Amino acid sequence: AGTGASRVADLFKASSSVWSLGLSAAQLIFDFGATGARVDGATAQHQQAVARYRQAVLAAFQDVEDQLSATRVLLTQQELRRQASTAADQVEQQVLNRYRSGQVGYTEVITAQATALSARRALVQAMADRQTTAVALIQSLGGGWQVAK
């Protein structure tokens, strides 16, 4: 008789766990699409994050390409300005020699010196622009620097 009572008690324990399992399953089945909506929301957030990442990568590649292009252009510009500066220096020297021989007035020497100085300034500016672009390229590639204290 003692064993029958324990079996009956076990039945109620088992049936209560079956009932709670059934209720849990029913809640999942009849959640009126809430789980699906949460999955859809998470999927949309994931897709947005992927799109933002792709956009950031594309922007970074574009920035690097822009800096590389600027570096090429400025290198060409620097070389042209170097040639112009060298030519202006030669003209300045020729005009100075002609002045010393009495062929031209000093005004022409001053004009040649001003032209040579202007060409040198343009060369220095081209060199500075190229260095600035080199720093921007390094930054675009993910580089950086720390200011020494």
- pTM: predicted TM-score of the whole model, two decimal places: 0.62
Place of tokens 């202006």: 88
pLDDT at 69: 94
Asked if residue 93 belongs to a domain, the reply is yes
Residue 10 included in any domain: no
Classify each residue of 51-89 as buried b or exposed e, where b means 16 or more C-beta atoms within 10 Å of its C-beta: eeeeeeeeeeeeebeebeebeeebeebbeebbebbeebb
Is 11 a domain residue?
no
Query: Does any domain span residue 146?
Result: no
What is the total count of domains within the chain?
1
- Would you say residue 65 lies in a domain? yes
User: In this structure, is residue 24 part of a structural domain?
Assistant: no
Q: Are 95 and 112 in contact (CB under 8 A)?
A: yes
Residue 34: pLDDT band (50, 70, 90) is: confident
How far, in whole angstroms, is CA 72 from its chain's centroid?
19
pLDDT tens-digit map of 6-18? 555 554 555 555 5
Looking at the domain assignment, is residue 49 inside a domain? Answer: no
How do residues 58-98 score in pLDDT, each as one tens digit? 998 999 999 999 999 999 999 999 999 999 999 999 999 99
Does residue 126 sit within a domain? Answer: yes
Domain holding 66, by residue range, is: 59-140
pLDDT, tens digit, 9 for 90 and up, residues 98-143: 999 999 999 999 999 999 999 999 999 999 999 999 998 988 888 7
